[in-house]
Amino acid sequence: MSQRSCLSVILAAGEGTRMKSAMPKVLHAIAGLPMVAHVVKAAEAAGATGLSLVIGHGAEEMRKAARKFAPKAETFVQEKRLGTAHAVLAAREAISKGYDDILVMFGDTPLIDAGALVAARQKLAQGAAVAVIGFRPPNPTGYGRLIEKDGQLVAIREEKDCSEAEKKIGFCNAGMMAVAGKHALRLLDKVGNNNAKGEFYLTDIVEIAGAEGLDVVATEASFESALGINNRAELAEAEAIWQARRRREAMLAGVTLIAPETVYFSHDTEIGADTIVEPNVWFGPGVKVASGAKIHAFSHIEGATIASNCDVGPFARLRPGADLRQKAKVGNFCEVKQATIEEGAKVNHLTYIGDARVGAGANIGAGTITCNYDGYSKFFTDIGEGAFVGSNSSLVAPVTIGKGGYIASGSVITENVPDDALAFGRARQKTLPGKGKELRQRFASAATAKKNAAE
């Protein structure tokens, strides 16, 4: 298998009108990744050395997206939608390059398992000309049935054309197939459009290949793997299946999920063993968590790196560029963005740290803010090792707090603070005896006068 070349032709030209969206259907995301990108990943995992995307609706948007998730893929436009065989032939140029195997896939089946694709390719390696991937849905109504005889697939029969006996067949067409490269173009070119819709159906190559005496077989994928997405309800169902799979993988790899069904991963989430994740945690794209971390409930994390034995949350938000080093702590209702929290540093309560470094062992008091943006540009705040920043402080960047520096609570710091210095940046308190009572009386009289005027 490893010596056989393989081209994956992914059909992604559908408009997806049932999605009720201006965006091409296959760009709707599962786990933060366009569904067609999941299909690409499966094809690559199955050994595809070439990728062709057949696109139509929103072609330029598709090309732009593909440059991110499949930069080496060729794109071909199906100008007119004249059936699945016609769509595959849009990639004629790629198919003609002489690949051993051609995998025909659909961009709206994001849960397809690479193992099912490998099984189909193995049938080609054993001499089959066509290997159709089938599945067994809970209710086969509406699906094309796979008609087998003596180990050969003889036809794919649409339900409206099935006999009563054939309607009882539970083995259905998943749409995907593998075709031997040496036969592919010849078989595809023989597909006609003599049908009610005047379209060229890919499924016809089963009978065409059989008529030539070629081996045509069926392989089986799970129902979930073959699930196609046509609307947002099905998109949500696919998301739920993907999440369930990923949660199980994480737990089997040594991660504790206290309430698994409430934790959401992204397609690229990395999380180490012995990490504990409490309920209602959301991992966005680009998150890496090392072993032994603890992620408390209701935390929202994206684009962040969390080292071993860190403590995050509850109700913490880590935004892109957050880099927590070993044993760092980011506590409740804290937000960190584009900032490094060094080893053992603590950002405990109600705090915003952006475009900054918090040195090892430093302590950031409740209500502290790094004022990093002036409406036009971002500026950096550097907080030294072992520094102590008192509660309700505003650090106006660019500014440096030296190693061991101490910031008095309630300060607005606009100038650099040297190592081990104590800085106050607040107005001196003034106390006026009896003025509190006088002020309350004045406010009460004003309120009474306003009420009487309204009456």
pTM above 0.85, yes or no: yes
**Is there a contact between 208 and 190 (Cβ–Cβ < 8 Å)?**
yes
Cα–Cα distance, 183 to 51 (Å, whole number): 19
159 & 280 share domain: no
212 & 282 share domain: no
Read off the CATH number of the domain in which 23 is found.
3.90.550.10
147 & 295 share domain: no
99 & 247 share domain: no
The total number of residues written for the chain in this structure: 455
55 & 151 share domain: yes
- Element of type H or E holding 48: none
Where residue 292 falls (left for φ over 0; alpha for ψ -120 to 50; beta otherwise) is left
Among 168, 186, 220, the domain-final residue is 220
Say whether 349 is catalytic: yes
As beta bridge partners, residue 317 has 300, 335
Residue 238 included in any domain: no
Residue 281 included in any domain: yes
Looking at residue 51, its pLDDT comes to 96
Q: In sequence order, which residues have a C-beta less than 8 Å from that of residue 448 and are 6 or more positions away?
A: none
Say how many Å lie between the first and final Cα of the chain, rounded.
Answer: 90
Q: Is the dihedral of CA 397, 399, 401, 407 positive or negative?
A: negative
Question: What CA–CA distances, in Å, run from 303 to 43, 124, 318, 339?
Answer: 26, 42, 8, 12
Looking at residue 292, its pLDDT comes to 97
Active-site annotation holder among 183, 267, 300, 349: 349
Low-confidence ranges of the chain (pLDDT < 70): 1-2
Cα–Cα distance, 408 to 392 (Å, whole number): 9
Cα–Cα distance, 352 to 97 (Å, whole number): 56
190 & 258 share domain: no
Structural domain including 196 reads: 6-220
Residue 431 included in any domain: no
Looking at residue 110, its pLDDT comes to 96
Residue 151 included in any domain: yes
**Crossing angle of helices 35-45/114-125, nearest 10°?**
40
211 & 260 share domain: no
193 & 251 share domain: no
Hey, what are 379's tokens?
A: 């500026």
> What is the domain count for the chain?
2
Looking at residue 114, its pLDDT comes to 95
Residue 447 included in any domain: no
**Crossing angle of helices 59-69/35-45, nearest 10°?**
50
23 & 162 share domain: yes
Q: What is the DSSP string of 304-345?
A: -EE-TT-EE-SS-EE-TT-EE-TT-EEEET-EEEEEEE-TT-
Q: Is the dihedral of CA 66, 67, 70, 76 positive or negative?
A: positive
29 & 126 share domain: yes
Read off the CATH number of the domain in which 320 is found.
2.160.10.10
Looking at residue 211, its pLDDT comes to 94
Residue 43 included in any domain: yes
205 & 248 share domain: no
Residue 453 included in any domain: no
Name the average pLDDT for the chain.
Answer: 94
Looking at residue 436, its pLDDT comes to 86
- pLDDT tens for residues 137-187? 999 998 999 999 998 999 998 888 888 898 999 999 999 999 999 999 999
74 & 12 share domain: yes
Looking at residue 2, its pLDDT comes to 61
Q: For residue 425, with 0-12 CB atoms within 10 Å meaning exposed, 13-18 middle and 19 or more buried, which class applies?
A: middle
Residue 231 one-letter amino acid: N
- Element of type H or E holding 157: strand 152-157
